[in-house]
Structure 1
Amino acid sequence: MDRYLWLPDHQQHVVYSLAHSDELIARTGRILQHFTAQGTLNLGNVAVGNTANVTVTGIASIPQAIPRLAADALNQLRSALEHVVYAEIVHQVGRPLTPQEARCIEMPAAATAHDFDKWLKHRHRSSLAPLQLGAALCERLRDLQPFRHSDPERHPLRVLVEHTNWSKHRTPSVAATLIGAVIPDGPAAGVVVSANPNRPVEIGDVLASGPAGVKVPLDIWPKISIRRPHSESWHILLHELRDLEQWVREVALPVLITGTSTDVPPLPPHLDTTIGYEDFRAALAAAHPTPAAARVAWELQVEVARNSLARIITLHSEDPKDIDAIKEWTVGLDADEVLQKVAGLQLTDPRELDAALRTMIADARETTER
């Protein structure tokens, strides 16, 4: 049974727009991963009396492909909405639109009911039956407006429109490095972690303080974030892309096309647009259901687990010569093996944990000796 019978032929184009946006998000995520893996901050210990401050001494420049690819992905998502509205009107009126009519078709994002009604009263829009009061498409558009949300400023459509207006008409999207978390890795008597302001990190920022001469490993989690133009608030860039893509694909498009987002399965996000398809329905059925942001997040989880695994095993080894062997061994593990071995370290019995770690060290030595 075709899960996507709700998608009419005249709206098939939107699947390719979603797939293109998905690929842009995936590219953004891959560059983000590579960038963060190289290290985003330089840190130093600055002594002030008997206190040592972990201080930011350098900040890596964000590759400018990241905000630009993110903006491209958001523009594709907005275009998908605009194209669906246009195609639906053309389909319903059963004729090509005049140049004047075509120019006034868009996806509105009204902050108030008055603004939406004013948008409908435009003389070329009001003459089109699908946009007249009571028409199905008109009411579907109304349901998706920011003013229907408890906080119109945070409504996904408002956020999407603000991002795309900014990147098209003002400057490229603004991205920066913020501090997500600073976590002591073990006992940390006397260590004070600084509060993280919701602003980009700056050289000279103190991330943690503690007694001078006491070594306490810290896990420091930077987050590459994007600024919302209208609220000037900062949000993790990949999460912003994930949330807006999900809303467009799972809520806005089904509502525009069918009137509901709960009674139809969402369209798949990932389809290879570099090849042509003779049978659109077969291609759609075979499309991957996992969106780019989730794929990137999983890959990042694996890499974090891989690095943690190597660090934990190295700390357990008593031979400095094992360091390179352990690193080489963990690099050679596939994703499932990494996650399985990290899960195996969640042992509560110290003897079992010690045995598991010693087995891994032995495996690492054996691998490098081959």
Structure 2
Amino acid sequence: MDRYAWLPSHQQHAAYSLAHADTLIERAGRIALDHTRRDTVALDDIVVGDFVAMTLTDVALLPQAMVRLASDALNQLRSTLEHVLYVEVEHRVSVPLTSGQARGMEMPCTSSVDKLQEWATKRPRRDVDVLQPGTDLYQRIAHLQPFHRRNSQDAHPLKVLVEHTNHSKHRTPSIGATLIGALRPDRPSDDIQVTTPPDRPIKVGDVLATLPIGHVVEVSLWPKVSIQRPHTKTWHILIHELRDLESWVRRIAVPMLIAGSTDVSPLPPHLDITVGYADFRTALDTADHSPAADRLERLLGAEIAREALPGVLLLHSHGVSHDQALTAWAAALSDDEALQRHESLQGLQGHSLDAAVRTMIDEALNA
């Protein structure tokens, strides 16, 4: 059975455009991950009275390629919607569109039913029968409008996407910055007082925590590369914002515009478009169904596993004297191997954990 039977030949372009957006998201995400792994922030302990304030003394500048790739990905997602709508109208009309009608084809983003009707019945669209109220294409467009969220239109994916792309097209590239995701003591401690991270970009002079003089507490800090929504000025984790908008366009908007339903198999996000495909359907069936955000999460998980495994193994008496060998073994593991071995230890206790760790140490020493 063809899971993509809902996608007609005249709309195959959508799969290629979504694949391009996915590639851009992955590129932006990889730069963001690399950025957070380097010395993103510098801290110093500054004495204030009887306390020491953990204070930011430097914040690394964001790589500008990242925000531009994010802008490109967002614009590609919006272009996909525009192209799908245009092609669908062009396919349905009985006579070719005039130049004015062609220029008037756009995916609306409206705040009320009346505004959408005004959009459809305004020249030059009012002479395009397939767009008029009451038609199935009009209903499909209406289904995707922000006015369905009466109390949260600003958070509707179409509204967010339109605001991002209008800003990056007419004003500046996407606005990115580093915020504090979390700061936690490595071990529970009543001494340290962690400051609630500000919901804004961090800057030199920010105090992240305080503790009494003479006390030492090791902490872990997680910066988060974020993007600002132009219309609300709120900050959102970059890869989450791109993930959520990509998912909405691919899983909701494109199927609704083309098939009139979201109860279909969504198009695969990751398709290699650097090559040509003689058999489009086979290409879809063999494409990777993991979106960029999931692949990046797996990449990050593998890196965490490679860093964590030597520490776990060194706690065992059988591995305590083999620090360099265990570290080199873990570093050489592939992503899948690192994740599998790390996950295999989760939930184990007692004899089962001891046996699994001993087996893994033997594997590392014999590699």
Pick the TM interval, shorter chain. Answer: over 0.9
Q: Which residue of 1 aligns with 2:188?
A: 187
C-alpha distance after superposition, 1:249-285 (max 9, x if no partner): 0001111111111x21111111111011111112122
State the 1:362 CA deviation: 6.7
1:343 and 1:269 map into 2 onto residues whose CA distance is 26
Q: Which amino acid aligns with 2:237?
A: I
2:327 and 2:134 map into 1 onto residues whose CA distance is 65
State the 1:365 CA deviation: 5.9
1:122-141 matched pairs, under 5 angstroms: 122-141=122-141
Contiguous gaps of at least 5 residues in structure 2: none
2:313 and 2:192 map into 1 onto residues whose CA distance is 25
Q: Which residue of 2 aligns with 1:203?
A: 204
Q: 1:50 to 1:102 in 2, by over 3 A?
A: same
Does the Cα contact within 8 Å between 1:322 and 1:361 map onto a contact in 2? no
Q: How many residues align?
A: 366
Q: Which residue of 2 aligns with 1:161?
A: 162
More displaced stretch, 303-312 vs 25-34: 303-312
1:1-370 matched pairs, under 5 angstroms: 1-150=1-150, 151-261=152-262, 263-313=263-313, 323-346=323-346, 349=349
C-alpha distance after superposition, 1:73-104 (max 9, x if no partner): 11011000000110011111033311110111
Q: Which amino acid aligns with 2:95?
A: R
2:182 and 2:326 map into 1 onto residues whose CA distance is 28
Q: Secondary structure at the match of 1:62?
A: coil
Does the Cα contact within 8 Å between 2:318 and 2:361 map onto a contact in 1? no
2:352 and 2:216 map into 1 onto residues whose CA distance is 28
More displaced stretch, 292-301 vs 208-217: 208-217
Q: Which amino acid aligns with 2:138?
A: C
State the 1:305 CA deviation: 2.4
Identity of aligned pairs, percent?
51
Does the Cα contact within 8 Å between 1:188 and 1:216 map onto a contact in 2? yes
C-alpha distance after superposition, 1:201-252 (max 9, x if no partner): 1111111222333322212111000000000000000000000000000001
2:43 and 2:363 map into 1 onto residues whose CA distance is 34
User: RMSD in angstroms over aligned alpha carbons?
Assistant: 2.3
C-alpha distance after superposition, 1:175-213 (max 9, x if no partner): 000001111111312111110111011111111222333
1:352 and 1:210 map into 2 onto residues whose CA distance is 40
Q: TM-score normalized by structure 2?
A: 0.92
Q: Secondary structure at the match of 2:295?
A: helix
Q: Secondary structure at the match of 2:225?
A: strand
Q: 1:55 to 1:270 in 2, by over 3 A?
A: same
